[in-house]
Amino acid sequence: MKNPFAYGRVVEGDDYCPRPKLEKLLAGMLSSGQNVVLYGERRVGKTSLAVRAARKRRTVYVDFLACNDAGEVTERIVKAAMKAANHAGLLDTALKAFASLRPKVTIDPDTGAIGATLDTGGSKMTIDSIEEALEKLGELHKKKSIVVILDEFQDVLRIKESKRALARMRSVIQFQGNLPYVFSGSARDKMEMIFSDPDSLFFKSAITLEVAAHSGASFRKFLTRKFAVTKRAIGEGLFEAIEDMGVTVTGDVQQLCWAMWFASEPGETIDVVSIEGALDTIFQIERSKYEDAVLNISATQLKVLGALAVHGGKGIYSSDFKLSSGVTVVGSITKAVQRLEDLRIIYRQRDEYRFANPFFGVWMRTRFA
């Protein structure tokens, strides 16, 4: 029997638990040609939501994750356009529209997966090429209407002269009228930096949509049904216990359910006791990642991280926290927390610091408590 839980990737179809209100809101904005910025913590379901809300339209889905230069940004836009066009039987139209960028498209004969590289004739691609690729999306849209999702958009900041690149992207997009863009990203501070830039009137005109973790009765019902169709029952208080552990983000809850299912047999009831075994499974898979993280931080940062795991992330300057961490100088705590945030090991939610990966937090707790 196949494990019915999916995590760590975009979910669609049966793996996707509907979020009718958000989907309707977003789909409505897209059909009126409105640009939207999706804000939300990591793994709450931003990408899945965007893909879902746009599923009835031709969607050009571009992922900017870890792109390093203008060439990569351009290539990803073109590749996404070719993929969408191929899917819609419009590859010829797209090839014509993008001809000046000289795309070389390959199609895997077995999987049908599409690849695209740009034949630059040896010259380096620049910000001009990004601008050109976006203009071509506009041309394509005039022929056949599309929706563009620019995911992990904050990673454009990684490229050289990113400010200039963003300004140029902005100036193209603002003249593309009713072509709707979704800008989504998981590094909130960076996304805010881009979209609250005072020079950026256009980005201000994009509507912001907050995506919180999928939770509540409908998500619990969805998870319970997944267990039930694979002949597992749910014990009293299971979901509450998961929440109490600090595992509240959509993808993390699915990961824990995946691990609980993994350790169970048909006919069994999954209850609070099953959580421990599930955590062991997750630790087994992720331990080397945790160990690397611990080895790569300073002794003070490690002490602070340990205290965050044990004491929790509220009141980091309290005497309890100082006692727990053994770091008594306020400036040292601030510096350590900043570094841990930069490393994306923790993030701040209102007045609380939280582990980006809650399972890492639980693992640290077992070692420091």
Ligand X SMILES: Nc1ncnc2c1ncn2[C@@H]1O[C@H](COP(=O)(O)OP(=O)(O)OP(=O)(O)O)[C@@H](O)[C@H]1O
Helix, strand or coil for residue 94? helix
* 303 is an interface residue for ligand X by CB under 6 A: no
Please name every residue paired with 115 in a beta bridge, in sequence order, or none if there are none: 106
State how far the Cα of 354 lies from the Cα of 280, in Å rounded to an integer: 21
- How is residue 36 written in tokens? 């939207």
Cβ at position 273, least distance to ligand X in Å: 23
Return the number of the residue (154 or 176) whose C-beta is nearest ligand X. 154
Exposure letters 38-53 (e unless 16+ CB within 10 A, then b): bbbbbbbbbbbbbbbb
CA 136 to chain centroid: 26
Cβ at position 52, least distance to ligand X in Å: 7
Phi, psi of 118 (to 5 degrees): -110, 130
Return the number of the residue (42 or 57) whose C-beta is nearest ligand X. 42
Cβ at position 286, least distance to ligand X in Å: 15
State how far the Cα of 130 lies from the Cα of 137, in Å rounded to an integer: 11
* 182 is an interface residue for ligand X by CB under 6 A: no
Return the number of the residue (132 or 151) whose C-beta is nearest Mg ion. 151
Binding-site size for Mg ion (CB under 5 A) equals 1
Segment near ligand X (CB under 6 A), from 3-11, 260-268, 272-280, 350-358? 3-11
- Here's the x/- map for ligand X, 231-270, by CB under 6 A: it reads as -------------------xx--x----------------
What lies within 8 Å, CB to CB, of 285 at 6+ separation is: none
Of 361, 324, 322, the C-alpha closest to 340 is 361
Q: Which residue in the set 30, 35, 48, 183 belongs to the binding site for ligand X (CB under 6 A)? A: 48
Longest dimension (CA), the chain: 67
Helix %, strand %, coil % for the chain, to 5? 55, 15, 35
Cβ atoms of 9 and 15 closer than 8 Å = no
Q: Which residue in the set 26, 35, 41, 47 belongs to the binding site for Mg ion (CB under 5 A)? A: 47
86 binds, among Mg ion, ligand X, none (CB under 5 to 8 A by kind): none
* 325 is an interface residue for Mg ion by CB under 5 A: no
Return the number of the residue (16 or 181) whose C-beta is nearest ligand X. 16
Q: Which residue in the set 36, 37, 44, 105 belongs to the binding site for ligand X (CB under 6 A)? A: 44
For tokens 């350790």, what's the residue? Answer: 263
Q: Which residue in the set 43, 141, 226, 303 belongs to the binding site for ligand X (CB under 6 A)? A: 43
* 177 is an interface residue for ligand X by CB under 6 A: no
Phi, psi of 123 (to 5 degrees): -85, 150
State how far the Cα of 163 lies from the Cα of 200, in Å rounded to an integer: 11
Return the number of the residue (5 or 153) whose C-beta is nearest Mg ion. 153
303 binds, among Mg ion, ligand X, none (CB under 5 to 8 A by kind): none
Binding footprint of ligand X on the chain (CB under 6 A): 6-11, 16-17, 19, 40, 42-48, 186, 214, 250-251, 254
Q: Which residues bind Mg ion (CB under 5 A)?
A: 47
